[in-house]
Amino acid sequence: MTHVTGADARRGPLRAGERVQLTDPKGRLHTITLAPGATFHTHKGYFRHDELIGAPEGSVVTATGGAQYLALRPLLADFTLSMPRGAAVVYPKDAGQVVTMGDIYPGARVVEAGVGSGALTLSLLRAVGDGGALESIERREDFAAIARANVETYFGGPHPAWRLTVGDLAQVLAEREPGSVDRVVLDMLAPWENVDAVARALAPGGVLTCYVATTTQLSRLAEDVRADGRFTEPAAWESMVRTWHLEGLAVRPDHRMIAHTGFLLTARRMAEGVAPPERTRRPAKGSRPADEWSAEDLGERAVSDKKVRKVRRDLGATDPVEG
């Protein structure tokens, strides 16, 4: 089969080899890959793929049991959530934030590390376009193979702006010319280990964007970015998405929502040899070094000696006997 890549892959009639998303009358989604002579079966009957091959996108096909299915090419968000995965995927809500807040633009030179199953890679490639350059670095060869298959399935073949490397981020960046990268996106367990390598590769004004799952990772990352001295003050946030039920006058929030998935942190590369301005705001209580934190800093409520003595009297407790 001849692959159709780029924007043309998203236009025209449905073709054999394409993934198509079917929506049934109850709103349930089914994703299939069109193949000549194949059939789609459910408990409501079946229909032949040939009925959709060559049909315009947005067509409706009727199964033998009478159920109708709306056929559309999956949107990027739909494909991301339904594609085969080895590692957990970056949710569309976070991928959108990475593209926007990380300022990924057409023609940008971007390095991504921690490819996983390729979900974020798809959004980055859509953002840089055919004229940009995205180098994705993954340590695990099996994850890289899954990511490559997912990317080429979505785009209908190899993307001209993409280079996938199996290896270590620091080693790959060491081979790059200093200041040759516009944006760096890290989705890994310990991104702080690569702050020095990223600072060397980023151009002045370049953006570092990191995705981490826990508050301990976020805290360590922020402190190491500050300590490096070559980045602006880091900013961090998380996003939550709540869908709504829409039916007549019954307009209300859905009972379930996509809440915490991860934290995003961004910082920008300073000019070479220029230190960021010192922060003038008053430090928060918990900003002292970890070895100086008290029990109250960690959330423990102090109990007065007076209260302890009263409780002991009420219980009739005696001094413990050493054994």
Domains of the chain and any CATH numbers: 6-74 (3.10.330.20), 78-268 (3.40.50.150), 285-309 (no CATH)
* CA atoms of 199 and 207, how far apart (whole Å): 10
Output the pTM of the full model. 0.80
Q: Which of 53, 58, 61 is nearest to 14 (CA)?
A: 53
Using left for φ > 0, alpha for ψ between -120 and 50, and beta otherwise, residue 179 falls in left
> Is residue 159 classed exposed, middle or buried when 0-12, 13-18 and 19+ CB atoms within 10 A define those classes?
buried
**pLDDT of the chain, 323 residues: tens digit per residue:** 344 555 566 788 999 988 899 999 888 889 899 999 999 998 889 999 999 999 999 999 999 999 999 999 999 999 998 888 888 889 999 999 999 999 999 999 999 999 999 999 999 999 999 999 999 999 999 999 999 999 998 988 999 999 999 999 999 999 999 999 999 999 999 999 999 999 999 999 999 999 999 999 999 999 999 999 999 999 999 999 999 999 999 999 999 888 899 999 999 999 998 888 887 766 666 566 555 655 555 455 666 778 767 767 777 655 554 44
pLDDT of res. 27: 87
Distance CA 22, CA 158 (A): 26
- Provide the pLDDT for residue 85: 83
Query: pLDDT, tens digit, for every residue of 251-303?
Result: 999 998 888 999 999 999 999 988 888 877 666 665 665 556 555 554 556 66
How high is the pLDDT of residue 158? 95
How many CA atoms lie less than 13 Å away from 25 in the CB half-sphere? 8
